[in-house]
Amino acid sequence: MISSDCTVLTNIYQDHCNLAVWQRQDPLAHNTHWLRTIAPLRFTAKVDDVPGVLHQHLPDHEDKAKLSEDIWLLADMYSSLFELENIGVRLQPLERAMCPKFHCDRVPVRLITTYGGPGTEFMHQPVKQIHSGDVALLKGTAWEGNEENGVIHRSPAVANDEFRLVLTLDFVG
């Protein structure tokens, strides 16, 4: 299900819904130069601790607060939607496809968004692509009752002049 209304993400609880996409503008599409300076960041935290970790690790820039606030908003939505105490956060700069082959993730549900650059591709006869800035929930094979039906997706090819900053949020044990 795809909509410009963020409540579309709640549809992920429906049995027939393996992909929910909130279409929105990329809040940082105007500044891919700064996004290229961000180092890979991976951590597990309570949602309220996410802004502090980001403030500590993101390079200084006028858009630092904007990116931190956006990630914190998505982390808060994700943890609230799934009643999670802790979440896994990965912010990964990419100049090439991270996972170029189509695959399913062995997770209950993964949130993916891209800041700058092409978004994740998914199988839907034909292949479709999530736009930069869109927020997607992809049901994986660890979702109870969905063991054989995870969303088949991949990282898009990245042209020589392109860049992606990918955010993923995951359940943690």
State how far the Cα of 79 lies from the Cα of 95, in Å rounded to an integer: 29
* Full pLDDT tens readout for the chain, 173 residues: 899 999 999 999 999 899 999 999 888 776 778 888 899 999 999 999 999 999 999 999 888 999 999 999 999 999 999 999 999 999 998 765 566 677 888 899 999 999 988 888 888 788 889 998 999 999 998 899 888 888 888 888 777 777 888 999 999 86
Strands (E), 65-139: 86-94, 109-115, 121-122, 128-129, 135-139
Cβ–Cβ under 8 Å, residues 115 and 165: yes
Single pTM value for the model: 0.90
Cβ contacts of 20 within 8 Å, gap of 6 or more:
1, 2, 8, 9, 10, 11, 12, 136, 137
What's the chain's Rg over C-alpha atoms?
15
2-171: CATH, from 3.90.1150.10, 2.60.120.10, 3.30.565.10, 3.90.1530.10 = 2.60.120.10
